[in-house]
Structure 1
Amino acid sequence: MKSKYYALNGIKGILAIAIACIYHIATIDFPYTLTRPFGEVSWIEWVYSNGGSFVEFFLVLSGFTSCLVYTARIDDGENFSTFIKKRFFRLFPLILFSLITSLILDGIFFARFNHPFFKDGSTNTFVSFTLAIFGMSAIDNGIQSWNFPAWSITVFLICWVIFYFVVFSTKHNKDLRVWLMTLIVFIGLFIQFTPSNTAMFLFNRDMSRGYISFFSGAILCHIYQIFKDRDKNILALAFVIYLILIYILSLAHVQIGNLTVFTGMFLWPILTFFVLHLEILNKFFLLKPLQFLGDISFHIYLMNYTIEIIFYLLLDGLGLIRGMKSIPFYISYILIHIIVAYLVMRVLNIVEKNIKLRLKSKT
């Protein structure tokens, strides 16, 4: 029987679909068409407008699972090289493949329409391409380039590096560890509320999203592991009361303020807690279809830019560019994302295994 913590993997699948197939429709490709499929449905319209905050949810889950899996290993002496290799090389084949395919498709799109697919992006340069190969496409003050969804990989990698050194430096003082993580969250808050024109390396809005959300997830993990069941029940009740108050305020059209702060520090950690604490939610996210989507969630996310270009080119060629509110289109759009992500995962796994076998045979 799978551990209840695997339910967090099931959340990732839904997040990837929501970002790639709902939010990105409104931010990358389909603004050209001035349509939003099913925009009349209130919660879908919310995702169209605010779905970028689901990246915060990914970061919360990453912080939680990193704390859950790696804290003990680092305390037992796992060195930085071993830690970062596990994290980076798990993603590197996908980072490289999605980057190359997006480059090729964007070139085809440029030849057809004489402008890049994502017109609001930064200038793609050789330097930014080189940085993107190593998952550092957003290292320059959060500016996005090439495979645009890959900007978040930079945030994940830097948060993992900081996480390692926080844990490593506090082996004998767990209280100090939590305080340091809390300090990083407050640094993220400070960056969020400073003028954007003061952004610099490691101190920009995109990185602050990681500081707030990733380390809120890590702090939640510490709390969840320390609290007894009775304490968790009291915390769950407090969270329910908080969510009810937020809902009442929303009905009164009271603004929740900074979305990154609200979701990264409060909403997504609370929902993560409920998925682990409430058996019915836990069992739901442990369902095999959701676990499958969770396993390919990063593939859905990083291949999204390539798939959107292909869709646009095909629809333009068929003269169907404005017919994208239909249910068949929407279903096919989601299914193609899932199929492509799965095939890419399988191909990359096979290539990786063959490379390892060849290296092993040579030694």
Structure 2
Amino acid sequence: MRFRAVDTFRGMAAILVILFHLQHLDLLSGSAFIAKSDIFVDFFFVLSGFVMTHSNFTKITNLASIKPFVVKRFKRLYPLHLVTLLLVLLFELFRYGVNRFVVPLSNPVFAEDKNLPSFIANLTLTQSLNLFHGVTWNGPSWSISVEFYTYIVWAFCLVLFRKNVALLCSISFALLAWFIVQHNGSIIYNYDYGFVRCLYSFLIGMLAYRLGHQLPDTLNRNAYSLVEVLLLGFTILAVSSFTHAESWLMPLLFALVIVVFSREKGAVSNLLAADRFAFLGKLSYSYYLNHTVVLAVMDLLFFKLVKLPHSPAGEFFFVLSCLVCIHLLSVFTYRHVELILQSVPPSRTSKPVAEMAPM
């Protein structure tokens, strides 16, 4: 079973995260929706829980079955993480050369967020387990770190609780609720409590899959289309206006979006499920991990070296150039990096995109 519409959503969410990191530009600074689009990281977590439950819940039966599951996830996550980490290192070396021989840079080279201990932590996917005072090296990789360990914890819990989802969720959500209350409703964490944030959303995704497909499917196409349009509108409004104290509610909303659109019964979901949008799902992981290094390179090139003016036209050209370069790099990394450890080349695989993507 393919979840083509929500996979397209994943690509769109990745693009919104890119725009979030461009909100310092006057061109985008006035949008409340873009200013809070980093919350779509939780959409990735919820969707991971949904997809992992669909593809692996029945496969994880004992301790022995955990190893192939974890190895498979590591092979899917790590190659691109490593390559983007090395790209950031190369760019920092380039900045060192520019700073010393061309023009002094305002931001220090090899600052605290790019030192040797944090580099080693990134190599071991431990950079976001509250070891440092902020995100390090390739910033978005914090979510890959915590997601990998969430997979491990989830698999062990399935075996420990013998797939008693009610018991597992009762204990887990009781602890998570205590954490959320202690932090005034906020789940907006990354380098410190990102693992808790990921686990919370991942379990909601698991429940969404387990419960969502048990709901009666009595609506016709027109009714589904109306529900999809209303849900999209409400999601845009919610993302634009939520506060940190309400952030714990956002994964619940994303779970509803995923359940509704995974059925592909309405006009909007059918449009998103079309083959013309399939590339968004395929490239979403590369979009997400590639974008910060591309933005940094383009910022140095256009605004520091070429002196592109911060006019509406100049910033529009900059944003468009960034998106094009991110897309081109992502096409390359998807084909030649992401699936390098997979047993079947991407051009010949018949596995659904939704099962292959990690976010």
TM-score of the two chains, using structure 2 as the length reference: 0.78
User: Which residue, 166, 174, 184 being the options, matches 1:178?
Assistant: 166
Aligned positions of 1:94-173 closer than 5 A: 94-111=80-97, 112=99, 113=105, 115-116=107-108, 123-140=113-130, 143-171=134-162
Question: Partner amino acid for 2:336?
Answer: V
Hey, what's the Cα distance between the residues in 2 that align with 1:6 and 1:191? 34
Question: Partner amino acid for 2:285?
Answer: F
Native 8 Å contact 2:231 2:257 kept in 1: no
1:336 equivalent to 2:359? Answer no
User: Which residue, 202, 226, 249 being the options, matches 1:262?
Assistant: 249
SS at 1:282's partner residue?
Answer: helix
Q: Which residue of 2 aligns with 1:225?
A: 213
SS at 1:73's partner residue?
Answer: coil
Q: What RMSD in Å do the two structures reach over aligned CA positions?
A: 3.8
Q: Which residue of 2 aligns with 1:14?
A: 12
Aligned positions of 1:257-296 closer than 5 A: 258-264=245-251, 266-277=252-263, 278-296=265-283
Native 8 Å contact 1:300 1:337 kept in 2: yes
Hey, what's the Cα distance between the residues in 2 that align with 1:255 and 1:216? 19
State the number of aligned residues: 326
Distance 1:286 1:231, change over 3 A: closer
Q: Which residue of 2 aligns with 1:25?
A: 22
User: Which residue, 331, 334, 341 being the options, matches 1:345?
Assistant: 334
- CA apart distance, 1:332: 2.5
Q: Deviations over 1:198-232 (max 9, x none)?
A: xxxx9953222112211101110100233332499
> Of the two structures, which has the highest relative contact order with CA contacts closer than 8 Å and spacing of 6 or more?
2
User: Which residue, 61, 72, 77 being the options, matches 1:75?
Assistant: 61
Native 8 Å contact 1:19 1:52 kept in 2: yes
Hey, what's the Cα distance between the residues in 1 that align with 2:166 and 2:93? 47
**Structure 1: 5+ residue runs without aligned partners?**
197-201, 357-363
TM-score of the two chains, using structure 1 as the length reference: 0.77
Hey, what's the Cα distance between the residues in 2 that align with 1:146 and 1:255? 29
1:212 equivalent to 2:200? Answer yes
**Structure 2: 5+ residue runs without aligned partners?**
100-104, 185-189, 346-359
The share of aligned pairs that are identical, in percent, is: 19
Hey, what's the Cα distance between the residues in 2 that align with 1:94 and 1:188? 30
Distance 1:340 1:47, change over 3 A: farther
Question: Partner amino acid for 1:115?
Answer: N
- CA apart distance, 1:185: 3.5
Native 8 Å contact 1:155 1:210 kept in 2: yes
Native 8 Å contact 1:61 1:214 kept in 2: yes
Native 8 Å contact 1:224 1:232 kept in 2: no
Hey, what's the Cα distance between the residues in 1 that align with 2:233 and 2:283? 36
